[in-house]
Amino acid sequence: MNYIDLRSDTVTKPTPEMREAMAAAEVGDDVYGEDPTVNRLQELSAEKTGHEAGLFVPTGTMGNLSAILAHCQRGDEVILGKSAHTYLYEAGGLSVLGGVHSCQLPNQPDGSLALDEIEAAIRPDDPHQPITRLITLENTHNHCGGTFQTVAYMHNISEFAHARGLKVHLDGARVFNAAAALNVAVNKLTSPMDSVTFCLSKGLSAPVGSVLCGSKTFIDRARRARKILGGGMRQAGVLAAAGIIAIDKMTSRLGEDHLRARVLAEGLTKIPGIELDEGTPATNMIFFNLTDEANMLANQLAKKLKDIGILVGVDGERRIRLVTHFWYKEDDVDKTVNAFNTILK
């Protein structure tokens, strides 16, 4: 069956143009720094995000972990959100492999961390306690609903952190979605950060890869961390070629995914048993709960939808996540609303 797949934007397959570029890519051994296509992707990424250097990594998870390992020593502490992807869904890599402690603060509804709560969490100079070293943010914020934080916030937190001798890393897996929602160049959000990871393989449709950006000295340390994690790739230019197209051609169209999410959400509001989160969708994610009226749980609904060709993300007993992306087309919106209607009415 040809499924309409709303489970995630990670399901996006490469575009025909990407496949052509991958086949034609000039390659070399990237561990020797000799892959011209990887080098081009890294330079382009650094330029876009307003940083000195970039590092191509296989996944967002490895980008975030390489960043944490490059910023922190064993026994250091990272302040991050309770709902952060790095805290919830990266298998605790920072503690498992880095010996880095985490301090989790509640996320605000837009995914941000409150500065007064960060202030209160910063450790005193005391040998009983870990050393606060890094703040990690997420923008857009996945678990908070694909919400975005503003340019002013990114500047404020960076100034706040630097005044206290701390660094800030951004998990910007979908930071181009945040930039599209705010209608600003992405560097407005990323340049105040000490480092940023963004993903090529989510809404931007590349098959594999993320890029970590920061200063030259930071990226030198992160390259060593990537090697430790087994992420030193060889002729990775075949992948980077798709990444270059992801940045050049796919970032400017993300607003379409946001619009499609809004139209889909409007259709869903009228269906009994569906209670959309307030303000959803902020970008390309729709979150909702099933009420008693639905008379079924999220996994039961997901199974029924699958039987008629629609895949959705189950995010809790009664909670569903839908993510729009390049391969979710205009026609699919009506088909999706009709499918929900058929099952829930």
Residues that bind ligand TLP (CB under 6 A): 8, 10, 59-61, 85, 89, 138, 142, 171, 173, 199, 210
Nearest approach, Cβ of 199 to ligand TLP (angstroms)?
A: 6
Residue nearest to ligand TLP (CB): 60
C-alpha 305/C-alpha 224 separation (Å) is 45
CB of 47 to ligand TLP, least distance (A): 22
Q: Minimum distance between the CB of residue 143 and ligand TLP, rounded to whole angstroms? A: 8
Interatomic CA distance for residues 100 and 109, integer angstroms: 27
User: 99: left (phi > 0), else alpha (psi -120 to 50), else beta?
Assistant: left
Nearer to ligand TLP, 149 or 210 (CB): 210
Q: State the SS3 of the chain.
A: CCCEECCCHHHCCCCHHHHHHHHHCCCCCHHHCCCHHHHHHHHHHHHHHCCCEEEEECCHHHHHHHHHHHHCCCCEEEEEECCCHHHHCCCCHHHHHHCCEEEEECCCCCCCCCHHHHHHHCCCCCCCCCEEEEEEEECCECCCCCECCCHHHHHHHHHHHHHCCCEEEEECCCHHHHHHHHCCCCHHHHCCCCEEEEECCCCCCCCCCEEEEECHHHHHHHHHHHHHCCCCCCCCHHHHHHHHHHHHHHHHHHHHHHHHHHHHHHHHHCCCCEEECCCCCCCCEEEEEECHHHCCCHHHHHHHHHHCCEECEEEECCEEEEECCCCCCHHHHHHHHHHHHHHHC
Shortest distance (Å) from residue 83 CB to ligand TLP? 10
Closest approach, Cβ 10 to ligand TLP, in A, equals 5
Residue 282's identity, in one-letter code, is A
Q: Which is nearer to ligand TLP, 147 or 210 (CB)?
A: 210
Nearer to ligand TLP, 286 or 343 (CB): 286
From the CB of 204, what's the least distance to ligand TLP, in Å?
Answer: 12
CB of 293 to ligand TLP, least distance (A): 28
Residue 49 burial by CB count (10 A; 0-12/13-18/19+): exposed, middle or buried?
buried
- Measured from the CB atom, is 172 or 192 closer to ligand TLP? 172
Residue 199 or 204 with smaller CB distance to ligand TLP: 199
Q: How far is the CB of 313 from ligand TLP (least distance, A)?
A: 7
Instruction: Give the residue among 150, 154, 178, 188 at the shortest CA–CA distance from 168.
Output: 154
Cβ proximity to ligand TLP: between 15 and 59 the closer is 59
CB nearer to ligand TLP: give 142 or 205.
142
Nearer to ligand TLP among residue 204 and residue 343 (C-beta) = 204
Q: Which CB, 111 or 273, lies closer to ligand TLP? A: 111
Closest CB 48 distance from ligand TLP, rounded Å: 18
